[in-house]
């Protein structure tokens, strides 16, 4: 039994292609049936915004082509040949381990994919399309990913400019207990508000050129106060922190329009800049802008890449244990047949001796126990050898030999 992967991901397929290859629940069920119809019983489907991939176990090489064909038929209105990835064996298993650990994600080391892998396995189990091998592969990959998270903490090196900006802001001017003004009402401003509310602020006020858009922020953040855009300079007089994140092509906070009279911290998340750089020369002002934040992002990204390399070494160690398990498990059927042959011989011998001798109940139990132990002792070393064969070719050779010698 071999492990395989087929599908597309963000590395080869653009967003418009990925959007068209997303699996709905109904489509997953259809694919499970298609796979089962060609003899592939164990299948897991991982469908996210960045990938649409099928993981499966197969017995015969032609089943790889059949699974690929089934995948392409699910999205027959698109030509996928230029975007497909196809992996098998150890390479495919290593890919699954790296996926679970976030090492193949668009954002290196992100944690969300681990939950998505768990959900994908749960779906397969629930639908009856997982088994001992799939459960083992995915659970080992999840365990490895958790070890990497615990040891390397890759995701603790943030890459979000908004998140890093709020962290840097808190280092410069502790957010807890402060009065804050947020200028802007788009996604960046909303993200900044989300991170701000992780702290115990005194009050948060928001404004935007579009008053209706600013008011819409209250649906997600009912605690904020809304003022008109024209009132921003007046509001700044009472604030400790000003965060600006608009899409304006011009400055929205000008030095010639406002003179700080108390310590004030500016966080400028806009490109082009929202806040006049002239404020940087004011002794009462601490100005943080995207240039500074992008440097931190690049440093964190570099650290993540280094940690991912280290994570790759951990994956290789854990992966080898899993591959060894799969290698030895290929001989399970042969070993089980040997055990059954042993049990048959024990029963036949015991039955014959029991008929020829007058044995007490205790002697009968002892006789069966001795017969079984003797045959198990004879088989112990051959079984250990079978479990530790190094290659598939060796396994096939010994399997035929054992079946011939023991007539199983």
Which residue in the list 49, 173, 207, 257 is annotated as catalytic? 49
Q: Residues 287, 279: contact at Cβ < 8 Å?
A: yes
Q: What is the pLDDT of residue 106?
A: 84
Per-residue pLDDT 10s for the chain (408 aa) are 899 999 999 999 998 899 899 999 999 999 999 999 999 999 999 999 899 999 999 999 999 999 999 999 999 888 998 999 999 999 999 999 999 999 999 888 888 899 999 999 999 999 999 999 999 999 999 999 999 999 988 887 878 889 999 999 999 999 999 999 999 999 999 999 999 999 999 999 999 999 999 999 999 999 999 999 999 999 999 999 999 999 999 999 999 999 999 999 999 999 999 999 999 999 999 999 999 998 998 998 899 889 988 999 999 999 988 987 777 666 566 667 777 777 887 788 888 888 888 888 888 888 888 888 877 776 677 666 666 666 666 766 776 776 676 666
Tokens 């008929």 label which residue?
Answer: 355
C-alpha 329/C-alpha 386 separation (Å) is: 10
pLDDT for residue 345: 79
Active site residue 49: yes
Q: How many CA atoms are closer than 13 Å to the CA of 18, on its beta-carbon side?
A: 16
The per-residue pLDDT for 387 is 62
pTM of the shown model? 0.67
Handedness of CA 106, 107, 109, 111 (dihedral sign): negative
Give the span between the Cα atoms of 60 and 373, in whole angstroms. Answer: 38
Q: What pLDDT is attached to residue 81?
A: 86
Question: Residue 190 CB: number of other CB atoms within 10 A?
Answer: 18
The one-character DSSP state at 275 is: B
Q: Look at residue 383 in the predicted model and tell me its pLDDT.
A: 65
Strands (E) in 137-185, as ranges, are 179-183
77 CA to centre of own chain: 29
Kind of pairing between the strands at 225-226 and 179-183 = unpaired
Q: What is the dihedral of CA 349, 354, 356, 362, to 10 degrees?
A: 130
Taking the C-alpha atoms of residue 256 and residue 376, their distance in angstroms, rounded to an integer, is 93
The span from the CA of 38 to the CA of 60, in Å, is 10
């Amino acid at each position: 039994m071999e492990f395989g992967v087929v599908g597309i991901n963000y590395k080869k397929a653009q967003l418009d292609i990925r959007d068209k290859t997303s699996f709905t629940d109904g489509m997953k069920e259809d694919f499970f049936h298609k796979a089962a119809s060609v003899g592939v019983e164990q299948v897991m489907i991982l469908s996210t915004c960045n990938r649409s991939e099928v993981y499966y176990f197969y017995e015969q090489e032609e089943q790889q082509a059949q699974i690929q064909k089934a995948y392409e038929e699910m999205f027959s209105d698109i030509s996928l040949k230029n975007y497909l990835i196809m992996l098998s064996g150890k390479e495919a298993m290593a890919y699954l381990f790296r996926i679970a650990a976030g090492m193949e994600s668009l954002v290196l080391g992100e944690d969300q994919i681990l939950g998505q892998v768990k959900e994908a396995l749960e779906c397969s189990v629930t639908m009856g399309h997982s088994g001992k091998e799939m459960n083992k592969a995915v659970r080992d990959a999840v365990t490895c990913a958790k070890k990497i998270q615990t040891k390397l903490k890759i995701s603790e090196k943030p890459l979000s400019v908004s998140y890093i900006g709020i962290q840097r802001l808190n280092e410069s001017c502790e957010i807890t207990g402060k009065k804050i003004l947020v200028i802007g009402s788009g996604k960046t401003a909303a993200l900044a508000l989300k991170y701000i509310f992780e702290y115990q602020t005194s009050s948060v006020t928001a404004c935007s050129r579009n008053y209706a858009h600013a008011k819409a922020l209250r649906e997600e953040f009912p605690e904020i106060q809304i003022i008109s855009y024209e009132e921003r300079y007046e509001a700044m007089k009472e604030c400790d922190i000003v965060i600006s994140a608009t899409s304006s092509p011009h400055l929205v906070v000008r030095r010639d329009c406002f003179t700080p009279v108390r310590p004030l911290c500016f966080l400028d998340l806009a490109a082009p800049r929202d806040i006049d750089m002239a404020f940087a020369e004011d002794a009462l002002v601490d100005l943080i802008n995207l240039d500074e934040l992008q440097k931190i992002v690049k440093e964190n990204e570099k650290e993540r890449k280094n940690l991912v390399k280290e994570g790759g070494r951990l994956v290789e160690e854990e992966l080898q244990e899993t591959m060894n398990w799969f290698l030895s498990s290929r001989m399970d059927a042969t070993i089980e047949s040997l055990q059954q042959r042993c049990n048959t011989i024990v029963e036949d011998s015991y039955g014959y001796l029991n008929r020829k001798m007058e044995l007490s109940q205790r002697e009968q139990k002892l006789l069966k126990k001795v017969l079984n132990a003797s045959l198990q002792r004879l088989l112990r070393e051959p079984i250990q050898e079978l479990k530790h064969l190094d290659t598939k070719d060796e396994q096939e050779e010994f399997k035929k030999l054992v079946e011939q010698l023991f007539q199983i």
